[in-house]
Structure 1
Amino acid sequence: MATCRVGFMATSACPVQRERRLRERRVRLIPPRASTSSNNNGPANKFSMDRRDVLLGLGGAAAAATVMTPGGVILPAMANPVAPPDLSKCHIATQGAPSGEDKCCPPYSMAEIIDYDFPRTPLRVRRPAHEVKEDTDYMNKYREAVKKMKELKSDHPWNFYQQALVHCAYCNGAYDQVGYPGVALQVHYSWLFLPWHRYYLHFFERILGKLIDDDTFTLPYWNFDVKEGMTMPEIFTSDENSPLYNKNSRNKDHYHPKLLDYRYGYKAGSGSNASSDDELVQLNMSYMRSTFKNSMQLPELFMGDPLRAGEPDSSGKGSGGLEGIHNGIHQFVGPTTNPHTDMGNFATAARDCMFYSLHANVDRLWHLYRNFRGNRVEFNEPDWLDASFVFYDEHERVVRVKVKDCLTPTKLRYTYEEVPIPWMGSIKVQKTKETKRKQDLNLVRISEFGTQPREIGTTPLRVMVPRPKANRRKKDKEEKVELLQIKDIQVASHGPARFDVFVAAPYGDLAGPDFGEFVGSFVKLPHKTTTEEGNNGVAKHNGKKTNLKLGLTALLEDIEAEDAEKLVVTIVPAGGDVTIGGIQLKLVQADSPRLH
């Protein structure tokens, strides 16, 4: 099969060039590809660990069938996928819902649950939001569908606000995991994030189509990864009388023509600090490109950490890079004041029509990621593939769905109109001015992190971190990914938080005056985590601990730092009271061959 080179990627799956014959409504589509997918006794798992670490060196079925305990004993790795919630046991949302917004339970708690019968309707084509504004027929249909949805009885499962509560229930702790009382079912911060939201949009979109009797209707996607789409879509902001307009709360200072900043934070002075709109566009595209490039070998860097039944989301799980960018956009749209409703808070975000277009593009970016990897299954294990959820469909049935059945959008009968992807091309590493000059260096001595947790205050934290191995050979880099891991991140309050991460090669044991190269961000929306039961079965809340993992293999090549035995890591605060437990560099077994 011929090889295709697209920017940094060389792959036999040329996602935006093959199958040009596919046409819907005379538009070019991102072509579909065939998918290759194929009992704990309590919430705490004393053998909890990163399976990729303990199985380093094992491969294939043997790796999937065993897990090693800290004592070196190899045990069978029993499948334990997250199961759908018991709808009859839905309760007040316990994870960060604003006062008065914590009643998220659906009106169909006693309904029969059936397996979803996947549609056989015409292929629907999602188009960019900044382009559909000129399509009068489409916009009339979109406004009519949302208007009808909002006019339904308040307790009808199709009602717009009932649909928004589905997100609140799954994302703010209204359900416990079945079999694990007190362990919240949470679909953020893990490998469940992208498949759950894919299904959520699928059913929302099909209900809208049902309301206007149009089985070709699709949601528009906010194409925020191209310059033309890097503002809030005007279809949601230009007409305050439109059903698409959110009258509750948004940051109106960020309406068109204000450009989206992927590194936006609530703290004054945070963000990319670009000197021009063109520079900001380049910085955004560089961020998107590096998110893809540095995660190709290891899907958890893009998708989020594994989450198995019985594991609380406070057990050190971390979001993937795409979810981090998505969190920043939620903050950009939402208001700066607490409790940051609607878009700035998971409990209320889905009350804004812009939410669905944001997530449609997040879904599209996952689709691109899968295509770039040749549609290789990200996590070929039952704990991911058999994880399941329940939704209310367009035929007024409560249906059960599994992750393994949503890996190809065409199975859900939709695809995306193909558009240019400029960030796939050659974008230069955005070096700081000081790095470019390399003059008048004011070198400073910095220490290693140490053994005790450290607070991220108002000034940057800089530490020296030893690398596991310098000057790695090509074969080694094909087999193992170098990661920067920031461990045991804890936010003191239940509010939002953010910090940005930079790396640089040191000058011996000294650090230069600039922070080096931006590698990623930790972004948290308002949220609190149930970690254990208190008196009388009432849940206690403690700050969630999480990890941030960032791939460095490609970046170190870009900045010519492969020979460095240590790296200077700089944490730049951008809001929130944050403590971190440690910083380390490590090598992790790659999932797939490297794409250059």
Structure 2
Amino acid sequence: MSTTVGFLSTIAPSACPLHDRRSGAAPCRRLIRSRISCHSNGDAPQPPPSSLLMDRRDVLIALGGLTGGAAAAGKMALAAPVMRPDLSKCHDASSLVLGDCLKCCPPYTSGDIVDYTFPETPLRVRRAAQEVIKDSEYMDKYKEAVRRMKKLPDDHPWNFYQQAQIHCAYCNDAYDQVGFPCVPVQIHYGWLFLPWHRYYLHFYERILGKLINDDTFTLPFWNYDSPHGMTMPEIFTDASSPLYDGNRNTSHYPPVIVDYAHSHDYTAGSGETGNGLVRANQCVMQKTFKRSLQRAELFMGEPQRAGQKPCSGPGQLECIHNTIHNWVGMKEYPHTDMGDFATAARDCIFFSHHANIDRLWHIYQTMRGYKIEFNNPDWLDSTFIFYDENEQIVRVKVRGCLTPDKLWYTYQEVPIPWIDLDCGKSTETKEKTKTEPSLVRVEPFGPGPMELSKTALRARVPRPKKNRLKAEKEDEVEVLQIKDIVVDTEGPVRFDVYIAKPYGDQAGTDYGEFAGTFVRLPHTKKDYKCKGSLKLGITSLLEDIDADDSENLVVTLLPQIGKFTIGDVVIKLLPTDYRGTSLKRKISGD
């Protein structure tokens, strides 16, 4: 089935007054206003929920997507997958640090949108970036493919910078959701993050292969979860190579080791160096998997459904991903290229970074026995569009990319030492077994939102139940939730979360065990006053710090960079969607 679309000749003005038409009009000057208005102020009046629901039903009916069950009223009408964007209504994107009028829309003039047919090629193997540097034949091909991509006409969809603009358009508000003017499509900070980027890499990789007539070509992955891969790959640091990008933090070139605790506040970080930093990184990776294995949203992010504003609900893998972006991007403000979503894909290292994120998702899938993370049509039927290796505009759904072999690629098997690493108990827990620590009084989280920028916030948070049985832990995972996160700054934001066992209403001066992190890159200029969320699995953490018998926990939020407010800190029990706890990979055929 195909859908014909017209582009440059039929571009309609955005229904959102803040958006500029993609035309030859003067930059950022609104020419035609619609009766539909968008409010950048979150306190401004919004349409009542019932009208939003009816709008959504009308859209679904018009598209032939509503079945008999959709006649029911209520919030269920909002439960729908994010639909592919309407390319004819693409408008200027924006960035918090780069401003308005970013020209990120695709150069397509017309064409049919068809369902993508996955090519049946030999199973292609993506290899580690630290290994391919030894393969001169491969490196010659990779460089030549990128060189040819950069030499294509500026308006060719395969052009290197046009390919980078795809990321900008989907990340920086160039597309509104169909049926919801002024609600942008956003593929970060939620459950669309991993599948969208899996497709993005697939088409980029296939186009590179097409340019050098090599159907077996694959991108390398930067395995920074391995001790041998924790430096920036040297294939990207040669200034004479087409793979090089000058907009980086050159002080992080080899032999500097990546720091998973990095922020742009250079007094922060893990404080570790050398082998200590390698081990700290590995333990962060291991605990990220271990603590999120039983519930997919903890790893992959919260649901993103049609009509929902793009508020932050990232999984912990995405927060590690954001840290790597910040670590590679320019040291100084505005931190481009990798440090800003609008420019990140202009650096070839972006694709090796995301190949590793994709690989880590695949490892997570194997640990869960390939159990579908979200067996929900709102996720499975979310739809994107890309320009493929045959110069065809294609439509793809999440359900089509659930495993790499569906896209005819796999990953080189490399050692994963963090899986079996003995990370032990936290330093604080070990110290408490030796001597009584100094104690400070900790109060419950107070009423109303609290602003944080430099000073740590410590709060005593009640648990729903203590001393849970093993069977109870298999049925429900204990989750710490930081609610109503509102970012109040233009630049990057990071805060870390720690948990400690209290002594009555007191706690040690040490913050305790690292539980997770919230990391955000600057990406869009619109201020939606969104209230984001961070969920962290803590079932195994409580075992690590011997706190199963505690009625309360001491939670510390430690700001690293940026200013933000939070509305509440709570602990709840949520149903598991996978009952296993072992990190042993369940490879097909086991």
For 1:342, the equivalent position in structure 2 comes to 337
Any idea what SS the aligned residue of 2:94 has? Answer: coil
Question: What is the rounded CA distance, in whole Å, between the counterparts of 2:48 and 2:372 in structure 1?
Answer: 28
Correspondences of 1:195-274 after superposition (within 5 Å):
195-237=195-237, 239-247=238-246, 249-274=247-272
Contact 2:495–2:519 under 8 Å retained in 1? yes
Aligned residue type for 2:368: R
- Provide closer, same or farther for how the CA distance between residues 203 and 332 of structure 1 changes in structure 2, counting only shifts above 3 A: same
Contact 1:528–1:542 under 8 Å retained in 2? no
Identity among equivalent positions (%) equals 57
Any idea what SS the aligned residue of 1:338 has? Answer: coil
Residue 419, structure 1, aligned to residue 414, structure 2? yes
For 1:465, the equivalent position in structure 2 comes to 461
1:552-591 Cα deviation digits (max 9, x unpaired): 0011112211001100101111100111111010001111
Aligned residue type for 2:270: S
Contact 1:44–1:311 under 8 Å retained in 2? no
For 2:55, the equivalent position in structure 1 comes to none
Question: Which runs of 5 or more structure 2 residues have no equivalent in the other structure?
Answer: 1-45, 53-67, 583-590
Any idea what SS the aligned residue of 2:110 has? Answer: coil
CA offset at residue 435 of structure 1?
Answer: 4.7
Question: What is the rounded CA distance, in whole Å, between the counterparts of 2:373 and 2:168 in structure 1?
Answer: 27
For 1:80, the equivalent position in structure 2 comes to 80
Question: What is the rounded CA distance, in whole Å, between the counterparts of 1:226 and 1:250 in structure 2?
Answer: 22
Question: What is the rounded CA distance, in whole Å, between the counterparts of 2:48 and 2:317 in structure 1?
Answer: 28
1:216-240 Cα deviation digits (max 9, x unpaired): 1100000110000001111001x20
Residue 360, structure 1, aligned to residue 355, structure 2? yes
CA offset at residue 94 of structure 1?
Answer: 3.2
For 1:96, the equivalent position in structure 2 comes to 96
Any idea what SS the aligned residue of 1:94 has? Answer: strand
Question: What is the rounded CA distance, in whole Å, between the counterparts of 1:109 and 1:548 in structure 2?
Answer: 41
Question: What is the rounded CA distance, in whole Å, between the counterparts of 2:98 and 2:225 in structure 1?
Answer: 31
For 1:117, the equivalent position in structure 2 comes to 117
CA offset at residue 319 of structure 1?
Answer: 0.5
Question: What is the rounded CA distance, in whole Å, between the counterparts of 1:268 and 1:365 in structure 2?
Answer: 28
For 1:179, the equivalent position in structure 2 comes to 179
For 1:305, the equivalent position in structure 2 comes to 302
CA offset at residue 46 of structure 1?
Answer: 7.5
Correspondences of 1:381-460 after superposition (within 5 Å):
381-429=376-424, 431-432=426-427, 435-436=430-431, 438-439=434-435, 441-460=437-456
CA offset at residue 595 of structure 1?
Answer: 2.0
Contact 2:511–2:556 under 8 Å retained in 1? yes
1:316-349 Cα deviation digits (max 9, x unpaired): x400110000000000001232221100000000
Contact 1:389–1:402 under 8 Å retained in 2? yes
- Provide closer, same or farther for how the CA distance between residues 147 and 75 of structure 1 changes in structure 2, counting only shifts above 3 A: closer
Question: What is the rounded CA distance, in whole Å, between the counterparts of 2:566 and 2:201 in structure 1?
Answer: 35
CA offset at residue 270 of structure 1?
Answer: 1.1
For 1:7, the equivalent position in structure 2 comes to none
For 1:485, the equivalent position in structure 2 comes to 481
Question: What is the rounded CA distance, in whole Å, between the counterparts of 1:370 and 1:419 in structure 2?
Answer: 17
The Cα RMSD (Å) is: 2.2
Contact 1:170–1:186 under 8 Å retained in 2? yes
Question: What is the rounded CA distance, in whole Å, between the counterparts of 1:201 and 1:544 in structure 2?
Answer: 29
Aligned residue type for 1:179: G
Question: What is the rounded CA distance, in whole Å, between the counterparts of 1:47 and 1:584 in structure 2?
Answer: 32
- Provide closer, same or farther for how the CA distance between residues 282 and 45 of structure 1 changes in structure 2, counting only shifts above 3 A: farther
Question: What is the rounded CA distance, in whole Å, between the counterparts of 2:227 and 2:331 in structure 1?
Answer: 24
Question: What is the rounded CA distance, in whole Å, between the counterparts of 2:539 and 2:50 in structure 1?
Answer: 32
Question: What is the rounded CA distance, in whole Å, between the counterparts of 1:463 and 1:558 in structure 2?
Answer: 20
2:561 corresponds, among 546, 557, 575, to: 575
Question: What is the rounded CA distance, in whole Å, between the counterparts of 1:43 and 1:191 in structure 2?
Answer: 26
Contact 1:529–1:544 under 8 Å retained in 2? no
TM-score, normalized by length of structure 1? Answer: 0.84
1:167-214 Cα deviation digits (max 9, x unpaired): 000011000000100000000011000000000000000000000000
For 1:285, the equivalent position in structure 2 comes to 282
Any idea what SS the aligned residue of 1:111 has? Answer: strand
1:83-114 Cα deviation digits (max 9, x unpaired): 11000100011353614771100001532211
Aligned residue type for 2:409: Y
Q: Which runs of 4+ in 1 moved over 6 A?
A: none
1:2-26 Cα deviation digits (max 9, x unpaired): xxxxxxxxxxxxxxxxxxxxxxxxx
For 1:25, the equivalent position in structure 2 comes to none
Question: Which runs of 5 or more structure 1 residues have no equivalent in the other structure?
Answer: 1-41, 49-64, 531-540
CA offset at residue 527 of structure 1?
Answer: 2.9
Contact 1:455–1:578 under 8 Å retained in 2? yes
TM-score, normalized by length of structure 2? Answer: 0.85
Residue 106, structure 1, aligned to residue 101, structure 2? no
Any idea what SS the aligned residue of 1:489 has? Answer: strand
What is the aligned length? 520
CA offset at residue 528 of structure 1?
Answer: 3.7
Aligned residue type for 1:303: M
For 2:169, the equivalent position in structure 1 comes to 169
CA offset at residue 426 of structure 1?
Answer: 3.5
Any idea what SS the aligned residue of 2:111 has? Answer: coil
Question: What is the rounded CA distance, in whole Å, between the counterparts of 1:290 and 1:180 in structure 2?
Answer: 38
Contact 1:298–1:591 under 8 Å retained in 2? yes
